[in-house]
Amino acid sequence: MSEAVDGERGSGLAGLGRTLRYLREKSGKSLGQLADESGYDKSYLSRLESGKRLSKMVVMEDLDRYYGSGDLLVQLWKAARHDAFMDKYKEFMRLEATARVMRKFTLGVPGLLQTEDFAREALSDGQTTGEDDEAVDERVAARLGRQLLLRRDPAPNVRFIIDEYAFRRPSRTAKTWDDQLLHIEAVAMWPNVVIQVLPFVVGPHYMEGSLTLLWQKDGKGVAYKEGPTGGVLMDEPEGVMRHRLSYDRLRDMALPPSDSLTFIRGVLEEYRS
């Protein structure tokens, strides 16, 4: 069985596919027989075995019961899902590094605007071991490295819409939060950056997680939406346009840039008092 579950050879999705094929062949079933007995389409099952598609977890639960394999497929599905998310995120970071226009909405302080101390706090659970600290150091360095793209030449045109929620949950230490607010205030005055605050007074909004829109020099756009269950990168013109319109509605609800700067300074004064 070690051959079937060897997830280190290729992606987690490929490993899951190999295991699905191994279990089917071990049971002596053809794809057609599996389709008839499981109720899933034959072509769909074939794509799962070839590693071309990630199913919903309930499918893996059904197949675990069918093969009597405990929760093996569910656990491999979780690893494959993580790999799929990371692949999309890596592609997003590649596109972000060359984008000429960026539009971002976040519920918290955006990674591109975080200070080193704030990033370290955000990326750590506060109970790390020495080994964990090293991993956190690497993630902090990577996050700070991403921020260099705001200052590259030519500088990208960047707009952040930040939910007021981000300014109502301070850091654990006063200095970290003071430095973070001062940094956001400073970046808001850069010529290539606009920062807007989406205040609580506008009421509920439909956006969960974060949304980033990127446009390259050739005009090609992509949208990247990230939430609690992972990230989705899309480049279909219709999907990008739909998310652009959603972003525009948030922009219209947000405070104007000058009022947003006043708001940020007000939060800083409130926190210091």
Q: Averaged over 154-166, what is the pLDDT?
A: 97
Between the CA of residue 230 and those of 41, 83, 184, 238, what are the distances in Å? 26, 11, 26, 21
CATH 1.10.260.40 in the chain is located at 12-82
Per-residue pLDDT at 248:
96
Q: Averaged over 216-237, what is the pLDDT?
A: 89
Q: Where are the beta strands (DSSP E) in 13-156?
A: 101-106
Total number of residues shown for the chain = 273
Which overall architecture, per CATH, does domain 12-82 show?
Orthogonal Bundle (1.10)
- Predicted confidence band at 6 (pLDDT cuts at 50, 70, 90)? very low
- CB under 8 Å, gap of 24 or more: what pairs does 172-175 form? 172/121, 172/126, 173/117, 173/121, 174/271, 175/117
What's the longest Cα–Cα distance across the chain? 73
Report the distance separating Cα 259 and Cα 17, nearest Å. 53
| Sign of the torsion angle spanned by Cα atoms 15, 20, 23, 28 | negative
- Residues facing 225 on adjacent strands: 211, 232
The more confident residue out of 126 and 204 is 204
Q: Averaged over 67-92, what is the pLDDT?
A: 82
Residue 103 in this model has a pLDDT that exceeds 60: yes
Residue 130 in this model has a pLDDT that exceeds 60: no
Q: Six-digit token pair at 150?
A: 């705001």
SS3 233: strand
At the fourth CATH level, the homologous superfamily of domain 99-115+150-272 is: Endonuclease Chain A (3.30.870.10)
User: Residue 109's closest CA among 213, 180, 191?
Assistant: 180
Q: Averaged over 201-206, what is the pLDDT?
A: 88
Residue 123 in this model has a pLDDT that exceeds 80: yes
- CA geometry: angle 104, 54, 215, nearest 5 deg: 25
Q: How many helices (H) and strands (E) does the chain have?
A: 10, 6
Give the strand order in the sheet containing 157-163: 193-198, 157-163, 101-106, 210-215, 221-227, 230-234
Q: How far apart are the first and last CA of the chain?
A: 64
The more confident residue out of 261 and 207 is 261
CB-based contact 235:220 (threshold 8 Å): yes
- Predicted confidence band at 118 (pLDDT cuts at 50, 70, 90)? very high
Rg (CA), the chain: 23
Report the distance separating Cα 194 and Cα 41, nearest Å. 50
Residue 83 in this model has a pLDDT that exceeds 90: no
Per-residue pLDDT at 9:
38
Residue 21 in this model has a pLDDT that exceeds 60: yes
| Sign of the torsion angle spanned by Cα atoms 120, 230, 184, 163 | negative
Q: Residues with Cβ < 8 Å from 81, sequence gap 6 or more?
A: 12, 54, 230
Residue 11 in this model has a pLDDT that exceeds 90: no
Average confidence score pLDDT of the chain: 88
The more confident residue out of 75 and 257 is 257
CATH 3.30.870.10 in the chain is located at 99-115+150-272
Out of 18-22, 53-57, 185-189, least confident range: 53-57
CB-based contact 74:61 (threshold 8 Å): yes
CB-based contact 222:187 (threshold 8 Å): no
User: Residue 100's closest CA among 237, 242, 221?
Assistant: 221
Per-residue pLDDT at 10:
47
pLDDT in tens, 29-62: 999 999 999 999 999 899 899 987 778 888 999 9
Report the distance separating Cα 20 and Cα 7, nearest Å. 13
